Structures are given as structure tokens and as C-alpha cells.
């Protein structure tokens, strides 16, 4: 009796700890919190920090572009630096206004409103955000013009997805921000984040001239061992975990997991495909969701399964849901593609191909009427497995509209392998060299 009760209590504690693990790790993978210190990009981070420091301390206006591929940590670096500037303990007085504008601001008008809002300037006009774009621009420029180097608080503008701003009309916002940064007005630091290496070519010449041409490239040269180390760090529990025994066990489990040969292979494959850390977080998240009270550790099998889910081909998966008729049409299209070397086809051609197959087999099982085939064809089009050739107008009848197949042969073959209860003759037809 007592042993049973103790066991129950132990189980309760265990369950609680388990939930805590889930919580910590899930937050780590999904919340995208700013890390304590930037990893892998220390040099660039220092560079940016120096630059912002000069804006903050000396009131010197600057503009800089941070260029790096997706997931390289551009936003992290810039926000980290901005935050450090704003909250740095040694200089609490030199707070910066950190303005972040990004993808959501699809044109200058919205971006300006957002800037005004973030600068807390909208109160100056009696609590109403005023009407026209022109007024708004004049208002903001006036505000910035009134400041000067020594007395105004520096403002940090972070322009996320900088290249999209370059597509705004006349690049008005960029021109004005850079112009402020190049004239004796309120000190500003304009930080543009982009993943385009050719972003300077997008700028208009006078905008370009006003930009200081500083670029910080965030190009990670991560090795596999470092990558592995980061995976381990991501999965490990922190030292502050309440039950140290549990934490030790968990961390030990992670150690063994990472040393597993198959796990290493999976990770290597992910590493080869992308050094970006966000993809691995995705993978680890899938792993974590397979952990339960009944199965309290991550097994190599979990990782393999998660990896399979991650890397699976979306289009091939879609093929699994098709009917036999639709699959047959796809196979017919594949044959047509083989015969005509990728030339477009229309429904009539596909139907003919299909009829040839039926004749050979002399099996009435797949005898469908024209409307039924038409319907199946349309369904394929809706799934975007086939798409009409550009430029073919709606004038032509649907049966004769030219189409292209959006699938690779390997995808079709893979799907056929896995298709449940696929008729053998269909399989053979697909594999045969001629239709």
C-alpha cells in the first residue's frame, strides 16, 4: 500500500518534471528569444555595437546594412545591439529610440505611421494620427530636423527586409532617412537588414550616394562539429533546473543520443542542406513532441522519424491521395513528357495515351466516360499538379488547353511505390519505357 502510494507520488513528481522539460525546450525552439550573447557572429556584432555606440555617445549619425542569408541572425544581432545600447548599465542616460520597420509595412505610408507610432510622436498632435501621407512625412521630417547632434536622443531605425523598402515609390523613406543621417539633424542610426547581396544596386543613385556604404556580412562558416555542439546545447537542460538528478539523467540521454551514428548521419544531412539553425530547431521540435511521460527520453528513432517528416516530399505526398484514375492520368502525362521531351500536352492527348494503355490490357475496369476524365483532369489542375501553359488563353476549349506537368519523374515513381493497393498493371505501365 505504502509502496504503491510512494510510487504514485514519484510518478506525480516525474510528470511535473517532464512537463517542465517540455516547457523549457519548447520555449527555446519556438519563442525565438534573443540569446544571451550572439553565437558565431561575434565579430560582426562587435562591429555593429561600435557603430551604434558612436551614435549613442557622440551623436554621430550612421547608416549600415547587414547582409546575410536567411536565418543567419541579422535581426538577432541588430536587436541585440540596439537593446544593449538602450539598456546598457554604464550609460543608462543614452537610451536610443529603437524603431523597427519591416515586411509588414508594405508602403511608405504605413511605414511612416509605424515610425511615428514607435517614436511616440502621435501624442503631439492631440492623440490623433493625422490624415494625409504628405502631412505625415512633413511632420516626421520636421521632428527630425528640429533635433541636433548634441541634444536630441539618438534614434535607431531598424529596417527589416530592407530590399522591400527599395521597391517603394521613389524610395522616399530611404532617401529621407539617409538624408537625415547625412545632415546635422537629430542623430540617427539606420540599420537595414536584408538577405540580398545585390541590395545596393536597388538603390537609386542619389539614395545610394547618401548611404554610407557600410555593409556587415553575416556569413556563418559553421563546421559540423560546432553544429553538433549547438544541437546538444539546444537540447540540454540548464543548470537551474529544479531537480538536478533529473537534469543530469536527461543531459546524459542527450549525450548518448548525439553520439549515436544514425543520429549523426541525420544531422549531417540536415547540415549539408542548410547551415541555418532554424531548420534544425524545426527538427528538434518534432522530436520533442514525440517525447511523452510513457517515453521520457529522445531516442534515435524519434530523430529519424522527425527527419523523415521534415525531408519528405510534399508533392509526392499529395499523390498518395489521388484516385486510381487520376494516378493513371499522371502516368500518361509522364509518358507523354518522355515522348515529347517536356512539350506541353492537352487533355485529349492524355486521354489517348490512357486509351492506348486500356486497349493493351483489354481490361474494362478503367473504362471511364469523357466527362469523368475531364473532371479528374480538372482536379489535378486544382491541386496544381498540372498547370496551363502561360499565354494560352481561355478561348481554347478545355480539352485542348495546353498543360504542363509540375512533377518530376522521381516523385511519381516514389509515390507509386508507396501508393496503397496500387494495381500491378498500373505500376508496370508506369515503369515501362513506352506508353
**Interacting residues with other proteins between 312 and 341 (CB under 8 A):** 312-316
Q: Which three cell numbers stand for residue 48?
A: 555593429
Note whether 91 binds other proteins by CB under 8 A: yes
Nearest distance in Å: CB 95, other proteins: 8
Residues 36-55 that bind other proteins (CB under 8 A): 50, 54
DSSP assigned state of 365: G
Residues 405-424 as b/e (b if ≥16 CB within 10 A, e otherwise) read bebeeebbebbbeebeeebe
List, as own/partner pairs, every contact residues 43-47 make where C-beta atoms lie below 8 angstroms and the sequence separation is at least 24, other chains included: 44/77, 44/216, 44/217, 44/218, 45/77, 45/80, 45/81, 47/216
- Taking CB under 8 A as the criterion, the residue among 4, 126, 371, 420 binding other proteins is 126
Hey, how many other C-beta atoms are within 10 angstroms of the C-beta on 257?
Answer: 20
3-state secondary structure of 239: coil
Report, in Å, the least distance between residue 334 CB and other proteins. Answer: 13
CB of 408 to other proteins, least distance (A): 5
272 lines the binding site for other proteins (CB under 8 A): yes
Pure H helices in 31-132: 42-58, 74-87, 108-118
Q: Grid coordinates in use for 255?
A: 549525450
Of positions 18, 232, 404, 427, contacts other proteins by CB under 8 A: 404
Check residue 346 for interaction with other proteins (CB under 8 A): no
Q: How far is the CB of 322 from other proteins (least distance, A)?
A: 17
Q: How far apart are CA 153 and CA 120, in angstroms?
A: 13
Least distance between other proteins and beta carbon 69 (Å)? 5
Q: Among 88, 195, 285, 422, which residue sits at the site for other proteins (rule: CB under 8 A)?
A: 195
Is 223 a binder of other proteins (CB under 8 A)?
Answer: no
Strand boundaries in 285-397, DSSP class E = 386-388
Q: Which range in 319-327, 373-381, 405-413, 415-423 contacts other proteins by CB under 8 A?
A: 405-413
CB 167 within 8 A of CB 203: no
* Residues numbered 158-177 forming contacts with other proteins, rule: CB under 8 A: 170, 172, 175-176
Cα–Cα–Cα angle for 36, 38, 41, rounded to 5 degrees:
170
* One residue of 150, 382, 421, 424 binding other proteins per CB under 8 A: 150
Footprint (CB under 8 A) of other proteins, residues 97-116: 97, 108
Q: Which of 22, 118, 212, 281 binds other proteins (CB under 8 A)?
A: 212
HSE-up (13 A, CA, CB side) for residue 28: 23
Give the footprint of other proteins on residues 281-310 (CB under 8 A): none
Q: How many CA atoms lie less than 13 Å away from 287 in the CB half-sphere?
A: 25
> Which has the closest alpha carbon to 276: 227, 310, 234?
227
* Binds other proteins (CB under 8 A): choice among 38, 59, 192, 435: 59
Q: Which of 82, 147, 300, 435 binds other proteins (CB under 8 A)?
A: 147
Verify binding: residue 142, other proteins, rule CB under 8 A.
Answer: yes
Segment near other proteins (CB under 8 A); pick from 178-186, 298-306, 324-332, 360-368: 178-186
Rounded-to-integer distance, Cα 212 and Cα 162, Å: 15
Site for other proteins contains 6 (CB under 8 A): no
List the one residue from 24, 88, 102, 121 that touches other proteins (CB under 8 A).
Answer: 121
Residue 401 interacts with other proteins (CB under 8 A): yes or no: no
Residue 417 binding other proteins, by CB under 8 A: no
Beta bridge partners of 13: none
Q: Does position 220 bind other proteins by CB under 8 A? A: yes
Stretch that binds other proteins, among 18-26, 33-41, 212-220, 357-365 (CB under 8 A): 212-220
CB 239, min distance to other proteins, A = 32
* Bridging pattern class, strands 386-388 and 403-405: antiparallel
From candidates 9, 87, 124, 372, binder to other proteins by CB under 8 A: 124
Residue count, binding to other proteins (CB under 8 A): 92
Which is closer to other proteins, CB of 181 or CB of 236?
181
In whole angstroms, what is the distance from residue 32 CA to residue 75 CA?
Answer: 11
Q: Which residues contact 421 (CB under 8 A, 6 or more apart)?
A: none
Q: Which three cell numbers stand for residue 165?
A: 523598402
Interface stretch with other proteins, choices 271-279, 282-290, 294-302, 324-332 (CB under 8 A) = 271-279
Among positions 27, 42, 343, 408, the unique one binding other proteins when judged by CB under 8 A = 408
* Interaction of residue 16 with other proteins, rule CB under 8 A: no
Q: Which residue has the cell 466527362?
A: 371
Name which position in 45, 74, 210, 335 contacts other proteins (CB under 8 A): 210
Strands (E), 291-339: none
Give the angle 235-236-238 at the CA atoms, nearest 5°.
130
Q: Which of 158, 150, 141 has the alpha carbon at shortest distance from 56?
A: 150
Amino acid at each position: 500500500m505504502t509502496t504503491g502510494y510512494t510510487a504514485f507520488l514519484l510518478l506525480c513528481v516525474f510528470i511535473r518534471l517532464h512537463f517542465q522539460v517540455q516547457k523549457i525546450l519548447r520555449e527555446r525552439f519556438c519563442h525565438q528569444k534573443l540569446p544571451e550573447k550572439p553565437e558565431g557572429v561575434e565579430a560582426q556584432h562587435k562591429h555593429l555595437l561600435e557603430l551604434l555606440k558612436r551614435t549613442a555617445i557622440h551623436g554621430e549619425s550612421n547608416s549600415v546594412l547587414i547582409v546575410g542569408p536567411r536565418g543567419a541572425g541579422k535581426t538577432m544581432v541588430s536587436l541585440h545591439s540596439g537593446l544593449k545600447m538602450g539598456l546598457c548599465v554604464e550609460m543608462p542616460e543614452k537610451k536610443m529610440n529603437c524603431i523597427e520597420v519591416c515586411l509588414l509595412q508594405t508602403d511608405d505610408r504605413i511605414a511612416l505611421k509605424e515610425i511615428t507610432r514607435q517614436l511616440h510622436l502621435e501624442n503631439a498632435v492631440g492623440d490623433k494620427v493625422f490624415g494625409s501621407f504628405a502631412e505625415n512625412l512633413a511632420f516626421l521630417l520636421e521632428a527630425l530636423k528640429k533635433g541636433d547632434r548634441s541634444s536630441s536622443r539618438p534614434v535607431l531605425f531598424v529596417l527589416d527586409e530592407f530590399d522591400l523598402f527599395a521597391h517603394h515609390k521613389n524610395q522616399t523613406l530611404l532617401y529621407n532617412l539617409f538624408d537625415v543621417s547625412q545632415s546635422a539633424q537629430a542623430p540617427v542610426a539606420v540599420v537595414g537588414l536584408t538577405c540580398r547581396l545585390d541590395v545596393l544596386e536597388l538603390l537609386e543613385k542619389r539614395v545610394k550616394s547618401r548611404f554610407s556604404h557600410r555593409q556587415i556580412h553575416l556569413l556563418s562558416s559553421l563546421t559540423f562539429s560546432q553544429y553538433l555542439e549547438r544541437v546538444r546545447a539546444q537540447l540540454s537542460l540548464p543548470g537551474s533546473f529544479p531537480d538536478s538528478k533529473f537534469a543530469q539523467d536527461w543531459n546524459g540521454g542527450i549525450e548518448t543520443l548525439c553520439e549515436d551514428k544514425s543520429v549523426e548521419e541525420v544531422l549531417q544531412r540536415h547540415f549539408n542542406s542548410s547551415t541555418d539553425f532554424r531548420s534544425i530547431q524545426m527538427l528538434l521540435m518534432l522530436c520533442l513532441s514525440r517525447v511523452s511521460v510513457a517515453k521520457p527520453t529522445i531516442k534515435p528513432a524519434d530523430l529519424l522519424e522527425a527527419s523523415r517528416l521534415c525531408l519528405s516530399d510534399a508533392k509526392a505526398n499529395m499523390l498518395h491521395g489521388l484516385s486510381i484514375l487520376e494516378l493513371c492520368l499522371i502516368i500518361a502525362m509522364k509518358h507523354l513528357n518522355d515522348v515529347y521531351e517536356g512539350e506541353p500536352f492537352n487533355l485529349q492527348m492524355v486521354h489517348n495515351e490512357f486509351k492506348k494503355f486500356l486497349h493493351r490490357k483489354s481490361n474494362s475496369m478503367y473504362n471511364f466516360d469523357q466527362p469523368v476524365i475531364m473532371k479528374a483532369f480538372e482536379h489535378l489542375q486544382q491541386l496544381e499538379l498540372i498547370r496551363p501553359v502561360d499565354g494560352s488563353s481561355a478561348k481554347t476549349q478545355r480539352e485542348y488547353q495546353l498543360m504542363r506537368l509540375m512533377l518530376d519523374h522521381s516523385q511519381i515513381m516514389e509515390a507509386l511505390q508507396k501508393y496503397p493497393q496500387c494495381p500491378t498493371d498500373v505500376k508496370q505501365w508506369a515503369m515501362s519505357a513506352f506508353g
